[in-house]
Chains A and B, each alone.
Chain A
Amino acid sequence: MRQLANFFIMQCIIAYRSKTALFWSFLYPLAMLVLMLSVFGDAKGAGVTGDDPRLMTVTGVFVITIMSGGIFALTTVLAADFQSGVYKRLKVTDLNRFHVTIGLMLRQLIIIVLGIMLVTAGAAVLFSVYPNGNFFSVLLLIFIGSVLFSSVGIIIANLCSRPQTAIAIANAIFLIMIFLSGSTFPKTFFPDWLAVISQTLPASYLFDLIESQLFYGESLLENSQDFLVLSAMCLIAFGISVKTFKWE
């Protein structure tokens, strides 16, 4: 516990001092929010049973924030640190793979939650958009999503031997997920075959579940099946990320 806590705090200091980490975690989501709400902001009244349709856009930005904070931030930093031998040095301490993976994920969780708070505040202050939903349910979804995508980020870094490859793969996965999850375009535009693919992606489950909160104001219980699938994906990804952690 002491080792995990110290590793986590050290990681927080490192992230706090890293300009790129701060950009991707905070400025980028906020910029996406402003951009997307400016583009899609006029679609008022299109909502079916839900509330303000701009909340779908906010949902998309939530998912983008979680994915960039999970996949991107971890893949780039980890791949570079594997290459330079930082983790080789840590391996000869008594830290184990749980300390390291959980420490990194906790740090990303904090960053993602802060990023989402910023996005929420931005939406309210700049666009007067106020989300529905249960605070704790949303928080739970953010937690699961951020552990899931942090795991994906760690797995990518583990499986690639060169940082360039890792970053290219992270990019590809990130782009595919944000387009196909409905985070940027409504899924209603998709042809059937694409909709089928889309429905298998973890990001789709996350998007749908957060949307059910922010937009429709439903309870998690009403979406328990999706919730279970997302949780299972999260557990599996976490397991793989720990199992494949390779230190260099």
Chain B
Amino acid sequence: MSIISISGLVKRYGKIPALKGISFDVRHGEIFALLGPNGSGKTTTLEILMGLRSFNEGEIRYFDAAGQQKVGLKIGPVFQTPVYYDNLTVRELIKYYSQFYDTPSNHVDKYFDLVNLLDKLDCQYKDLSGGQKQQLSILLSLVNDPDILFFDEPSNALDPQIRLKIWDIIRTLKSEGKTIIFTTHYIEEAEALADRVSILSKGEILVTDNPENIIKLYNDSFKVEFTLEQPVDVESFEQFGVVGMSFFDGVYSFSVDSINGRLMQIVKDMSEKLSISKITIGKSSLEDVFVRLTGEKAAS
């Protein structure tokens, strides 16, 4: 059952199209990821869904749990950049932001245990660390007991430990029945966290499905990676019968459907002519699909 249904959404900044007619549905109670490289339109999409930006074409519909169409939803936002008054304390931010809704609430109490802020209550926002700020942003997105949470790159620029903590919080929120849409350019984040993923590239959605299906559908195969002591042109691998060789960060890679005699022959031929220093064969990940689909290497 959908909570939001988006169809044919087009957004132009001046003449430049940022979204070129995207469509997807988000279901009640799921964690939905918008995965895409920088500038692909993640923030634009999220802020349109929150009602903060206008759009040029398309339709967005909201539904309640019973499937009835609604005018809007109660939303909980986490923005990509810090958006709180610097010189208010954690306690004050919680207190005042809870009061800015028509029905005041103390839902925060319910979620306070999720975050590590107890000893920071009287600390001003500007004195919090990046991880603490992000946890506070999440806490503040919950003050109105929202139907749906919009998290724009919630773990960006955080160290791995804090990132795992944020993942934990998101999973707990899901287990409490919240619907969460988040954006990320970290593939492993989408893979680890999301029930379903849309891969967004240059304003277009390339695929929407659960991570396992995406991997299966687009790359039910293996990946061969190796490095060379003397780098050569990627085209020159055609002599070995390899097409679609890619080269990034010193590593050559290509995909094959199965590990068979032909692959072994290719590896043998290559190692006779080139000085291969290290070679691995592994199962494809979402990252490989992402790279293949978007033609870009994402940060990981």
Contacts and interface: CB of A to CB of B under 8 A. Distances in A.
Q: Do A and B bind each other?
A: yes
A95 B102 CA distance: 8
Contacts of A90: 100
A89 B77 contact: yes
B77 A92 contact: yes
Contact of B83 (A10, A17, A86, A95): A86
A7 B100 contact: yes
A13 B92 contact: yes
B83 A13 contact: no
B84 interface: yes
- By secondary structure, the B interface counts as loop
A13 to B, nearest CB: 7
Contacts of A18: 87
A81 B99 CA distance: 20
- Residue from the set B84, B99, B104 with the largest chain A CB neighbour count within 10 Å: B99
Nearest to B79: A85
B237 interface: no
Nearest to B150: A92
A92 B79 CA distance: 11
Contacts of A95: 100
A89 B84 contact: yes
B58 interface: no
Interface string A72-103: 00000000010011101111111100000000
B240 interface: no
A17 B89 CA distance: 11
Contacts of B97: 93
B248 interface: no
- By secondary structure, the A interface counts as helix
B13 interface: no
A7 B96 contact: yes
Contact of B85 (A86, A91, A248): A86
Contact of A6 (B51, B84, B87, B96): B96
A14 interface: yes
A85 B84 CA distance: 8
Contacts of A14: 85, 87-88
Interface in A1-59: 2-3, 6-7, 9-10, 13-14, 17-18
B81 interface: yes
B145 to A, nearest CB: 13
A248 B102 CA distance: 22
A160 B104 CA distance: 34
Chain A interface residue bracket vs B: 20 to 34
Nearest to A248: B52
B52 A10 contact: no
Contact of B100 (A3, A17, A248): A3
B83 A88 contact: yes
Interface in A193-248: 248
A92 B75 contact: yes
B88 A13 contact: yes
A18 to B, nearest CB: 7
B276 interface: no
* Minimum-distance CB pairs A-B, first 5: A93-B100, A6-B99, A85-B83, A89-B83, A17-B87
Interface of B: 50-52, 75, 77, 79, 81-85, 87-88, 92, 96-97, 99-102, 104, 144
Given A6-B96, A94-B101, 9 more contacts: A3-B102, A9-B96, A13-B88, A13-B92, A84-B81, A85-B81, A88-B52, A93-B144, A94-B144
Interface of A: 2-3, 6-7, 9-10, 13-14, 17-18, 81, 84-86, 88-95, 248
18 contacts: A2-B99, A3-B100, A6-B99, A9-B96, A10-B88, A86-B83, A86-B85, A89-B77, A89-B84, A90-B100, A91-B52, A92-B50, A92-B51, A92-B52, A92-B75, A93-B97, A93-B101, A94-B100
